[in-house]
């Protein structure tokens, strides 16, 4: 990922310029990175349906927003406020 002004999270004053969302799927890798929460959440849900035994994480500026932990057929999902 480049550190251009368009994709930078913080400006020179350290203020939040743009939210960055990222979806990571265990065994697959990063499947979404962008500034649209709805797209990230849809991608999370799509992988949740097809990769139930994999860990799936949706990050918002590096912090966990949603997390799915697959474990031998059982699954747990955590949603942060």
Domain spans in the chain, listed from the N-terminal domain onward: 21-79
Q: What is the pTM of this model?
A: 0.70
| pLDDT for position 36 | 96
Whether residue 48 contacts residue 55, with contact meaning beta carbons closer than 8 Å, is answered with no
Which band of pLDDT confidence, cut at 50, 70 and 90, is reported for residue 39? very high
The whole-angstrom separation of Cα 25 and Cα 11 is 29
Neighbours of 54 (CB within 10 A): 17
Measured on CA atoms in the order 50, 46, 65, 19, is the torsion positive or negative? positive
What is the percent of the chain where pLDDT is above 90?
A: 54
User: Mean pLDDT in the chain?
Assistant: 79
């Amino acid at each position: 990922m480049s550190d251009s002004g368009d994709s930078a999270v913080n400006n020179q004053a350290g203020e939040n310029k743009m939210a960055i969302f990222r979806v990571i799927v265990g065994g697959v890798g990063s499947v979404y990175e962008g500034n649209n929460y709805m797209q990230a959440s849809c991608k999370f849900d799509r992988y949740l349906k097809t990769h139930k035994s994999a860990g799936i994480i949706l990050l918002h500026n590096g912090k966990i927003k949603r997390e799915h932990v697959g474990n031998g057929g059982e699954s747990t999902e955590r949603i942060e406020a």
